[in-house]
Structure 1
Amino acid sequence: MKRRDFFKNTSILAAGTALAPLTGFAADHEIPVISGKTAKNIIFLVSDGMSIGTLTMANLFIQRRDGRSSHWLSLYEQQKAVRSLMDTASANALVTDSAAASSAWGGGVRVNNGSINVGADGTLHKPILQKFKAAGKSVGCVTTVPITHATPAGFCVNSGGRDDQEGIALQYLDLRFDVMMGGGTEFFSADKRQDKKDLFESFKAGGFSVLRNRQEMLSKSAADSKPVLGVFHEDGLPYTLDRNNDSAKAAAVPTLAEMTDTAIKLMEKNKKGFVLQVEGGRVDWGAHANDTGGLIYDQVAFDEAVGVAIAFAEKNKDTLIILTTDHGNANPGLFSAGGDVNANFDKIKSFKHTNDWILNGITSNHTPKQVIERIEAAQGLVFKQEEAASLLTHYQTMDGTGLYNPKKLPFKLLAEMQVKHTSVSWGSMGHSGDYVELAMYGPGSEMLKPMVKNTDLHQLMLRAAGLGA
């Protein structure tokens, strides 16, 4: 039986319940069938928390700044990709978190929010990178947030709680994946870990190449067969916009595209191929903060990593590219409420720093004039005296909302004030239950149906690689 027919006629089990077979493509949708081919390599790219408005605005931004479309949307324009909608729900909620969402791909079963490949009854679902490693492939993850964060972890480990990032770091030591790179130094450093273990030294003693900055990564020889742990910053890597306008950060911290390119070069020598997850994790953090500069520039940086993956796949026809997100977040968009939308949106091209940079540099001792000057220097936007004073009142109460906002800074208020300057508005500061974009390019993409559940991708990847159910 052909692999395509097997997939069409077989139900996929999720949380002990058989899903109905997925519907076929519409008759007018021509899909390139790659009969008999399997995917030697799989590059799974996730823009975490990417609502459709994020994908749209990044494409418009690239068009207006660079005179071309994004790499992702170019696949659509050139009719190279198979496109689908994906249902992102978790086992216990219509609105998933990143742990459950990545577990749906990684373990093939929906679990409760907060869990990583552990069912509500305690069942452990084997993560997909462990399966591919057992099949002889090289495996790895790169991300712009801690490498121990929910999305990479969902492809890698079992954990009852996504917040146990110290424990996840220990699991990586034992699992010995080929390439793991991102942020999160606090989960490996003796001075930050609760158990005071120096995991950097443990990884070195275990035969890993431990990389701590961009130059070490770029100079890493592909001929070196040691597994690689690259941890380049505490917590998440800096937002792309802030990194690009800080020479010290730009020299020390690699871009997502650079990490992707390095990971591919380190793993492509494996004759059995490789599987790589690439996550633009800061996209999600920018959405949670309603931070226009943070969001758009990090989505553009993610798209540059997409370009690296597509370039490799075009030279290596046995490579399957998967592009998607784990869930929507904040539902941002470009709206026509007041002012010249084109001119407003183009102001973002001149931004030098994010709202995160602006707000973290303000204290309760600042004057409204100093706040106005800081915002104008960072983004070229001129605020009024009363607006700056309103922002400053929140530095007395520290009552700001939004995830990844430990200082309770007034991200929401600043975003609301910026609407008249940028024409970018936000629906919330949290995840959404929207169906999301999913696209595939390369061998195995012919199996993708127009509407899928997130768990379907687990079996699709295995079958695309010729590993069966």
Structure 2
Amino acid sequence: MMDSKWFLLLLGALAIVSIGGQYISTEDKASWGNMAKYDIHRALKVQQNTRKAKNVILFVGDGMGLSTVTASRILEKGEKGFLAFEKLPHIGVLKTYSANKLVPDSMATATALFTGVKTNQRTGGVDATVQQNDCPRSLLPETRLESFFTWAQRAKMSTGFVTTTRVTHATPAALYAHTASRYWECEATMPPNATQCKDIARQLIEDMPGKNINVIMGGGRQMLQSNAVNRTKDFVDTWACYSRDGRQLINGWVSDKMTRNVSHQFLENSSDIEKMKITDYTLGIFANGHMNMEHERDKGHGGMPSLSYMTEAAIKLLEKRNTGYVLLVEGGLIDYGHHRGKAKKALGETISFSEAISKAMAMVNLEETLIIVTSDHGHPMVIAGYADRDQKITGIAGNSKIDGIPYTSLLYGIGGPNNYKYQIINETVFREDPERIDTDDFDYSQQAGVRTHEVPHDGTDVLVYAQGPMAHLFHTVHEQTYVAYVIAYAAQIGPYAHLADAVQNHANWKSVGNNTHLLAVFLLYLNWRQ
């Protein structure tokens, strides 16, 4: 039975909390106090789950810095609301620098997250002794890194990844590829002196651990087969390579699975997911290049699936075997929106990413599944000025006290040509008046102070949110490499596979008899101390 004081506290909390997790607008002194008491009550109830993680799902919001999370929350839920992952009970901070750069790129950060080792800019799956474009050194066994996908497969766990980018793009490629350049997605972009290196697409289909990944979903058809067929009415990706060597890697994937006599299926649109079977291996390629953003994708049966739908499908497929699984879900187009200086596109993709997390959390048992949500890096988008509470986050914050021209709440420190909104008239610099434009439009480009070719990344720390077995290990400021080791420790794989051996040894010793039981416990303790 709940005692009277907690019952009254709960009633007070219910009075200020709505069903959707947002606080009601009353903001008197008592409301703020009740809000704090409710949060304290929740905090006191948080317990450490020290079980082994049967499953691990890592969500990576590419380019989702803290200002992006804040602005997306306000856009979707209001100031007092929460995105799906913001109520996870354990939070830490990750440093994002790469081995040779203060501000990282996505392949270097993905390598840190997935292998536990920092590497050089634009390289993946290799250590920091490999410089960009150094094909010969990337082939040396001692430079090659194992990701937690390799660790999981070695432990007989299922593996899968879902992304809104190309399946050969920088972030997912770090799971399975060893490359001196993130740009070597297919042979067409590789220089003549790199012919002995395999492109990223071939490594996914032909090499370990790529060929053993149970679920692969995303875009990137034109990297996998020459003369890619435009079946989903999307465009040719001019930002990526277009395979010309005649290889049909999708057919190669099918042939490999047939040779191994394992059940498999190839999916091309939302309708295929609706009709999918529960097979050992699934390859879903839904676009020539990156998939379309949530606000512009074809939501019909023959169109592209949402990130939530792909995540749901991946979990259903990976649960087929009872050996546990490791799944990566990347909200990859948050980064795409920011690079082009269109903040609302990035916020829309963040909201879509949050919806995928909500879907996953509703499907899994959080007592045995470790959920981790983080970002690889942020972007120099700021929330500035002194906008009123009822003003849209995508709207006007106020007027400059210098030139009198309005400015928006969202701004970029540095941006592309469309973000640099200055002109010189009669030797006087004038800034564009954003009140004359629809700043809430997905295609509006926020103003930036410095002009370059696009909005770059920033070097600010990012947050990591977690729930489930060993989630409490995220508790302070960590290196980005820490994530791979938490996954390994929680699932007892890779560098912590000996923990699983110790537990099994304990069970074996215990079955012998009471005389050996204490010795087994002591040996288990020694293993855990390591």
The TM tier, using the shorter chain, reads 0.7 to 0.9
Q: Distance in 1 between matches of 2:226 and 2:456?
A: 33
Q: Distance in 2 between matches of 1:417 and 1:233?
A: 38
Query: Counterpart of 2:153 in 1: which secondary structure?
Result: helix
1:418-437 equivalence runs, <5 A: 418=434, 422=439, 429-437=455-463
TM-score normalised by structure 2 residue count: 0.65
When residues 101 and 413 of structure 1 are mapped into structure 2, their CA distance, relative to the original with a 3 A threshold, is same
Whether 1:252 and 2:266 are equivalent positions in the alignment is: no
The AA in structure 1 aligned to 2:125 is N
When residues 116 and 102 of structure 1 are mapped into structure 2, their CA distance, relative to the original with a 3 A threshold, is same
| Partner of residue 217, structure 2 | 181
Query: Counterpart of 2:59 in 1: which secondary structure?
Result: strand
Q: Which of 425, 441, 446 lines up with 2:472 in the alignment?
A: 446
Structure 1 gap ranges (5+): 1-28, 349-399, 403-408
Bigger-Rg structure (1/2): 2
Give per-residue Cα distances to partners, 1:386-415, cap 9 Å, x unaligned: xxxxxxxxxxxxxx974xxxxxx7355599
Q: Kindly state the Cα deviation for residue 416 of structure 1 after the two structures are TM-superposed.
A: 7.0
| Partner of residue 266, structure 2 | 210
Q: Kindly state the Cα deviation for residue 70 of structure 1 after the two structures are TM-superposed.
A: 1.6
Q: Distance in 1 between matches of 2:419 and 2:355?
A: 27
Give per-residue Cα distances to partners, 1:35-68, cap 9 Å, x unaligned: 3x11010000011001211101111112149x95
When residues 253 and 427 of structure 1 are mapped into structure 2, their CA distance, relative to the original with a 3 A threshold, is farther
| Partner of residue 202, structure 2 | 170
The AA in structure 2 aligned to 1:234 is N
When residues 431 and 281 of structure 1 are mapped into structure 2, their CA distance, relative to the original with a 3 A threshold, is same
Q: Kindly state the Cα deviation for residue 81 of structure 1 after the two structures are TM-superposed.
A: 1.8
Give per-residue Cα distances to partners, 1:193-249, cap 9 Å, x unaligned: 121211121112222422111111222122x22x11111012111111122xx556x
When residues 255 and 119 of structure 1 are mapped into structure 2, their CA distance, relative to the original with a 3 A threshold, is same
Q: Distance in 2 between matches of 1:200 and 1:101?
A: 28
Contact 2:94–2:480 (CA under 8 A) maintained in structure 1: yes
Q: Kindly state the Cα deviation for residue 103 of structure 1 after the two structures are TM-superposed.
A: 0.2
Q: Kindly state the Cα deviation for residue 251 of structure 1 after the two structures are TM-superposed.
A: 4.2
Q: Kindly state the Cα deviation for residue 100 of structure 1 after the two structures are TM-superposed.
A: 0.4
Q: Which of 70, 85, 94 lines up with 1:72 in the alignment?
A: 85
| Partner of residue 382, structure 1 | none
1:312-323 equivalence runs, <5 A: 312-313=363-364, 315-323=365-373
Q: Kindly state the Cα deviation for residue 108 of structure 1 after the two structures are TM-superposed.
A: 1.2
When residues 124 and 278 of structure 1 are mapped into structure 2, their CA distance, relative to the original with a 3 A threshold, is same
Q: Kindly state the Cα deviation for residue 317 of structure 1 after the two structures are TM-superposed.
A: 1.8
When residues 247 and 257 of structure 1 are mapped into structure 2, their CA distance, relative to the original with a 3 A threshold, is closer
When residues 69 and 118 of structure 1 are mapped into structure 2, their CA distance, relative to the original with a 3 A threshold, is same
Q: Kindly state the Cα deviation for residue 92 of structure 1 after the two structures are TM-superposed.
A: 0.5
Contact 1:104–1:110 (CA under 8 A) maintained in structure 2: yes
Q: Distance in 1 between matches of 2:439 and 2:114?
A: 38
Q: Distance in 2 between matches of 1:190 and 1:168?
A: 15
| Partner of residue 458, structure 1 | 484
Q: Distance in 2 between matches of 1:52 and 1:427?
A: 20
Q: Kindly state the Cα deviation for residue 304 of structure 1 after the two structures are TM-superposed.
A: 0.5
User: Identity over the aligned pairs, expressed in percent?
Assistant: 28
Whether 1:139 and 2:152 are equivalent positions in the alignment is: no
| Partner of residue 33, structure 1 | 48
| Partner of residue 221, structure 1 | 277
Contact 1:105–1:155 (CA under 8 A) maintained in structure 2: no
Whether 1:52 and 2:52 are equivalent positions in the alignment is: no
Query: Counterpart of 2:217 in 1: which secondary structure?
Result: strand
When residues 129 and 63 of structure 1 are mapped into structure 2, their CA distance, relative to the original with a 3 A threshold, is same
Q: Distance in 1 between matches of 2:485 and 2:75?
A: 35
Q: Distance in 2 between matches of 1:466 and 1:91?
A: 27
The AA in structure 2 aligned to 1:262 is A
TM-score normalised by structure 1 residue count: 0.73
Structure 2 gap ranges (5+): 1-42, 130-136, 138-142, 187-198, 228-241, 258-263, 397-413, 423-430, 441-445, 497-530
When residues 335 and 296 of structure 1 are mapped into structure 2, their CA distance, relative to the original with a 3 A threshold, is farther
Whether 1:61 and 2:75 are equivalent positions in the alignment is: yes
The AA in structure 2 aligned to 1:450 is T
Give per-residue Cα distances to partners, 1:241-284, cap 9 Å, x unaligned: 122xx556x74100001000000000012211000000011000
Whether 1:194 and 2:244 are equivalent positions in the alignment is: yes
Query: Counterpart of 1:141 in 2: which secondary structure?
Result: strand
Structure showing greater relative contact order (alpha-carbon pairs closer than 8 Å, 6 or more residues apart): 1
When residues 412 and 147 of structure 1 are mapped into structure 2, their CA distance, relative to the original with a 3 A threshold, is farther
Query: Counterpart of 1:181 in 2: which secondary structure?
Result: strand
| Partner of residue 393, structure 2 | 345
Query: Counterpart of 2:489 in 1: which secondary structure?
Result: helix
When residues 293 and 401 of structure 1 are mapped into structure 2, their CA distance, relative to the original with a 3 A threshold, is closer
Whether 1:107 and 2:115 are equivalent positions in the alignment is: yes
Q: Which of 386, 392, 395 lines up with 1:336 in the alignment?
A: 386
Give per-residue Cα distances to partners, 1:294-343, cap 9 Å, x unaligned: 11111110000110122133x35200000000001132436436xx6734
Contact 1:241–1:293 (CA under 8 A) maintained in structure 2: no
Query: Counterpart of 2:393 in 1: which secondary structure?
Result: helix
Give per-residue Cα distances to partners, 1:318-369, cap 9 Å, x unaligned: 00000000001132436436xx673443779xxxxxxxxxxxxxxxxxxxxx
When residues 189 and 169 of structure 1 are mapped into structure 2, their CA distance, relative to the original with a 3 A threshold, is same
When residues 417 and 259 of structure 1 are mapped into structure 2, their CA distance, relative to the original with a 3 A threshold, is farther
